[in-house]
Amino acid sequence: MNYIVHSVLVSDGGDSFRIDTANTSYVIGIQDGLYLGHFYYGAKIPETDLSYKTAFAPPMSPVKTSRELCVFMDCYNFEYPGWGTGDSREGALKAIDSNGTSRVNLLYKGYRISSGKEPIPGLPSTFAAEDPVETLEIDLQDPDTGLSVTLFYTAFPECDVIARRVEVKNEGGHDLDLQRVLSATMDMPGVDRQGRPFELLTYHGTWAREFTKEIRPIGFGRTGVVSICGKTGNRMQSFLGLVSPAVSQEQGQVYGLQFLYSGNFSSMVEKGPNGDIRVSMGIHPEEFSWKLCPGETFHSPEVVLTYSDAGLGKMSRNFHDLYRAHLIRGKYKDKKRPILINNWEATYFDFDHDKLLSIAKQAKECGIEMLVVDDGWFGKRNDDNTSLGDWTVNEEKLPGGIRRLSDELSAMGMKLGLWFEPEMVSPDSDLFRAHPDYAIAIPGREPARSRNQLVLDVSRKEVRDYLFDSIRKVLESADIAYVKWDMNRHLSDLYSAGLPSGRQGELMHRFTLGVYDLQERLLSAFPDLLLENCSSGGARFDPGMLYYSPQIWTSDDTDAYERIRIQAGAQTLYPLSCLGAHVSICPNHVTGRTVPFMTRGIVALAGTFGYELDITQLSEEDKAHIRRQVELFHTYNDLIRNGDFYRIASFADNGFYDCYGVVSKDKKEMLLTFLHVMNQPCMPNRHICLKGLAPEKRYRVFLVEESSGKEKKDIVCEAFGSTLMNAGIVIPCMYGDFQSALYHIEEV
């Protein structure tokens, strides 16, 4: 007999636990009263006690015989494995005891079920919204070291997502040195329901080439994605996916895991000799150690997991729903963002008050709502060699300061935003001359520079206090509605003047905690502020950042052709509402490519939407395009921001065209985007089957015209949802590269 507490079920004997969402079940249990095992994660099932799955693998019990305990430890499907106990697979928790040994043997101690979900001290985390949630806590303990471990599981039923994290407490009598604390592991079969080996889905890249999708076989041994540069980085997303071979948007099993953290990470899969796999995710053990004194607790960052047996599209929508409802916070959580124009590609460092006003005036005439002043407004910043850390206004460029500019913008009905790079310092700055110890650098050694700048040690409270006070004074001096928070280099030369020699291994994690603390203080002081995170483009685009900023700059590459691929990768993991996307000038400043103005706008509509150009140099025709794009944004942004995303075709797969749609939650309307990227001889009409509509509803399909003025739509056809999803529609051939079209589908 089972009893149910909302989403958590416990077996009659209290030795098995099942966590349910709308469509999935997660089952764990206790072997012989000692070891916590992972029994199942997948499509929803009615059983809670799956202990029969451990009866034959391994064939010995740790209670009945200790003769082959090492074999048991090396074969058992652990839920959270320790270290040094005979399990040769990757462990989750390693701690150095006072005698120099590292064994951690975690035994089951007890459990609790509570309503709601507590925040994690100092870290981003998912939260309960209007619907109640339940949290299962399972306690493990190492009787030799006194380490106590609590595993936390919270189910978000409507999103089909489970959040996991770990707390490690020292209940012994002496200090322990934590060498690794992973947030989640999972031992599971290495094959899908059809017996086909799972493959590994990851996203990699570099500057201007973020979010490149890769699916590869999982070979024996360990493979995965990592970052050890002090942030998540643009080289690898911390996401990890296990997918059926030939997975598609609608077909195949998918396990997706994402790490709510913005520092070093390890996302690994290990395949053992029997073909089973161990999945693990957490802070990368390299450059990590943590001194845990008696009575102290270490809190791990959170991992969110989802399962789909309906392909990648369902996984995407699960994550999108979770982040929009249970991670993004603040004034702009469910609100349309202002359309902005950023002056960077318009002026770079060469601007003054009058130039900015001329951009703002013409932008206002086209319907743009905010001017963002990028790098160069502070200190003596006329190039990228100086003044980072000196957050005072350069009045040679801006006489009367930010206040004068803000007042004049307000008078014309425009908002003001500012660029900051708080974590950086220029050696040629007043801050560095006064406090060289504020920079991360090894005493007596010349530190490596990048963009001729060093990284400030925000793990130190005095450094954070200086930065907060400096930024606060600027934001209080004028009506500033938006901050772009940039971070343009990796960490190196690791040493903190604020830590003793025995605790230098804590710097990387403390740095990330310091960034979170700074952003939390900023938002608490300015709750109406719109914060957009950025790091050399998308080099810190991760769920941890979404907790503080509802949008993140996706890439410095604003070429619409490149953005189709970049945004396709980002859209798989993140809601469109958080993807920073702008229309830029052509030839594009990164690639030199030219794309029609309207297509550039349609690509940027699948994001936050804005402009990155000198509007004063545009033709009247291009300004008319901007006015039309602004109309489209206001008409469709609520749908784009809140609807369900469906990828229909991928340019990365077919080499010619891209197509995706956003469907309202009530299934009453859809916005379909078609991008004819590359031309081909004898180019055909495109046959497109829609997705996500209600089969029984009848819809009218409109082509949204590109001409300026009140929104114009031509009727294409009228049909039931089932017809549109199976028989589809025909999109006429388009002449030339980079052409585009929008279709609006409405319930009749």
Q: Tell me: the pLDDT tens digits for 360-369? A: 999 999 999 9
How many alpha carbons fall within 13 Å on the CB side of residue 735? 0
Q: What's the sign of the alpha-carbon dihedral 28, 30, 36, 38?
A: negative
Q: What is the mean pLDDT of residues 120-139?
A: 94
Q: What is the pLDDT of residues 438-479, one digit of tens each?
A: 999 999 999 999 999 999 999 999 999 999 999 999 999 999
Read off φ and ψ for residue 152, nearest 5 degrees.
-110, 135
> Is the Cβ–Cβ distance between 35 and 62 less than 8 Å?
yes
* Residue closest to 476 by CA, chosen among 546, 528, 550, 551: 528
Q: What is the mean pLDDT of residues 429-435?
A: 98
| Residue 3: per-residue pLDDT | 37
680: containing domain: 646-747
Q: Which of 97, 321, 486, 622 is catalytic?
A: 486
Compute the distance between CA of residue 82 and CA of residue 91 in angstroms, rounded to an integer: 5
Q: What's the pLDDT band for 60 if we cut at 50, 70, 90?
A: low
Q: Residue 62 pLDDT more than 80?
A: no
In a domain, 253, yes or no: yes
| Residue 262: per-residue pLDDT | 98
Q: What's the sign of the alpha-carbon dihedral 541, 212, 591, 615?
A: negative
Q: Residue 5 pLDDT more than 60?
A: no
Query: Helices 597-605 and 620-642, interaxial angle, to 10°?
Result: 20
For the chain, percent of residues with pLDDT exceeding 90: 92
Identify whether 142 is a catalytic site residue.
Answer: no
Compute the distance between CA of residue 501 and CA of residue 444 in angstroms, rounded to an integer: 15
CB within 8 A of 229, min separation 6: which ones?
235, 264, 490, 491
Do residues 312 and 367 both lie within one domain? no
Q: What is the mean pLDDT of residues 32-58?
A: 87
Q: What's the pLDDT band for 237 if we cut at 50, 70, 90?
A: very high
Compute the distance between CA of residue 579 and CA of residue 549 in angstroms, rounded to an integer: 11
In a domain, 415, yes or no: yes
In a domain, 562, yes or no: no
Do residues 358 and 415 both lie within one domain? yes
CA-angle at 657, arms to 539 and 566, nearest 5°: 0
Helices (H), 242-352: 311-326, 344-347
Q: What is the mean pLDDT of residues 621-631?
A: 97
Q: Which of 49, 160, 192, 556 is catalytic?
A: 556
Q: What is the pLDDT of residues 719-741, one digit of tens each?
A: 999 999 999 999 998 888 999 99
Q: Check which CATH number belongs to the domain holding 401 and give it.
A: 3.20.20.70
Q: Which of 326, 358, 393 is the last residue of a domain?
A: 326
| Tokens read off for 665 | 């939650």
Do residues 387 and 261 both lie within one domain? no
Do residues 691 and 738 both lie within one domain? yes
| Residue 61: per-residue pLDDT | 72
pTM: 0.97
Compute the distance between CA of residue 401 and CA of residue 378 in angstroms, rounded to an integer: 10
Q: What is the mean pLDDT of residues 661-671?
A: 98
| Residue 68: per-residue pLDDT | 80
Q: What is the pLDDT of residues 346-386, one digit of tens each?
A: 999 999 999 999 999 999 999 999 999 999 999 999 999 99
Identify whether 12 is a catalytic site residue.
Answer: no
In a domain, 176, yes or no: yes
Residue 36 DSSP SS3: strand
Number of folded domains in the chain?
3
Do residues 265 and 316 both lie within one domain? yes
Compute the distance between CA of residue 123 and CA of residue 133 in angstroms, rounded to an integer: 20
In a domain, 361, yes or no: yes
Q: What is the pLDDT of residues 633-654, one digit of tens each?
A: 999 999 999 999 999 999 999 9
Do residues 229 and 294 both lie within one domain? yes
| Residue 59: per-residue pLDDT | 56
Instruction: Cite the beta strand spans of 205-301 per DSSP E.
Output: 212-217, 221-227, 240-243, 254-260, 265-271, 277-282, 290-292, 297-299
In a domain, 452, yes or no: yes
Place of tokens 């200086």: 466
In a domain, 232, yes or no: yes
Q: Which of 524, 553, 582 is the last residue of a domain?
A: 553
Do residues 190 and 306 both lie within one domain? yes
| Tokens read off for 703 | 């082509």
Q: Check which CATH number belongs to the domain holding 185 and give it.
A: 2.70.98.60
Q: Check which CATH number belongs to the domain holding 661 and give it.
A: 2.60.40.1180
| Residue 56: per-residue pLDDT | 52
Helix, strand, coil content of the chain in percent (nearest 5)? 25, 30, 45
| Residue 1: per-residue pLDDT | 34
Compute the distance between CA of residue 45 and CA of residue 657 in angstroms, rounded to an integer: 40
Read off φ and ψ for residue 599, nearest 5 degrees.
-65, -40
Whether residue 197 is preceded by a cis peptide bond, meaning omega within 30 degrees of 0, is no
| Residue 706: per-residue pLDDT | 74
| Residue 530: per-residue pLDDT | 98
Do residues 739 and 715 both lie within one domain? yes
| Residue 132: per-residue pLDDT | 86
In a domain, 612, yes or no: no
Q: What is the mean pLDDT of the chain?
A: 95
Compute the distance between CA of residue 243 and CA of residue 220 in angstroms, rounded to an integer: 17
Q: What is the pLDDT of residues 579-606, one digit of tens each?
A: 999 999 999 999 999 999 999 999 999 9
Do residues 295 and 387 both lie within one domain? no
Do residues 519 and 664 both lie within one domain? no
| Residue 680: per-residue pLDDT | 81
Q: What's the pLDDT band for 51 if we cut at 50, 70, 90?
A: confident
Q: What is the pLDDT of residues 166-213, one digit of tens each?
A: 999 999 999 999 999 999 999 999 999 999 999 999 999 999 999 999
Place of tokens 């699916």: 215
Do residues 146 and 289 both lie within one domain? yes
Q: Which of 534, 553, 572 is the last residue of a domain?
A: 553
Do residues 322 and 462 both lie within one domain? no
Q: Residue 234 pLDDT more than 90?
A: yes
